């Protein structure tokens, strides 16, 4: 199955934590920033991404404890200029305010990347 089709399937079958966080990220509710969910980037599909801030948000459950695949994935995303924030599903479900505050603080402290200058200068 190709990544785009798999990402669409993931969007249709969100976890409770993904659904709850998406309610707060969608429609530019955080600092007027556009977030996408289950977005393919390279060979990976990230839970949420804001391209303007190069911010990836991943929600994890216990299967992600000390997962070497997550480390490789995070390292690759960082090599592409992304910052990765990871939250436990339980944090999203029981402390959504704290999770949102962390995301808002990151977005406020990091200005958007400058668009490329026309003419290559």
How many Cβ atoms from other residues are within 10 Å of residue 20's Cβ?
A: 16
Query: How much is the average pLDDT of 19-43?
Result: 93
pLDDT digits (tens, 9 = 90+) for 42-78: 989 999 999 999 999 999 875 645 666 788 889 999 9
pTM for the model stands at: 0.80
CA–CA dist 62, 28 (Å, integer): 30
pLDDT of res. 64: 47
How many Cβ atoms from other residues are within 10 Å of residue 30's Cβ?
A: 20
The answer, yes or no, to whether residue 28 has pLDDT greater than 70, is yes
Q: What is the CATH superfamily name and number for domain 3-109?
A: VSR Endonuclease (3.40.960.10)
- HEC-encoded secondary structure of the chain: CCHHHHHHHHHHCCCHHHHHHHHHHHHHCCCCCCCEEEEEECCEEEEEEECCCCEEEEEECHHHCCCHHHHHHHHHHHHCCCEEEEEEHHHHHHCHHHHHHHHHHHHHHCCCCCCCCCCCC
Q: Which of 21, 24, 48 is nearest to 35 (CA)?
A: 48
């Amino acid at each position: 199955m190709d990544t785009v089709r798999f990402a669409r399937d993931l969007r249709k079958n969100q976890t409770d934590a993904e659904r709850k966080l998406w309610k707060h990220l969608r429609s530019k509710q955080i600092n007027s920033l556009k977030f996408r969910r289950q977005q393919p980037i390279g060979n990976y599909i990230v839970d949420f991404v804001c391209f303007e801030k190069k911010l990836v948000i991943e929600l994890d459950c216990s299967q992600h404890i000390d997962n070497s695949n997550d480390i490789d994935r995070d390292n690759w995303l960082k090599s592409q200029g992304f910052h990765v924030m990871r939250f436990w599903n339980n944090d999203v479900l029981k402390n959504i305010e704290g999770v949102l505050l962390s995301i808002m603080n990151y977005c406020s402290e990091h200005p958007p990347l400058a668009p490329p200058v026309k003419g290559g200068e």
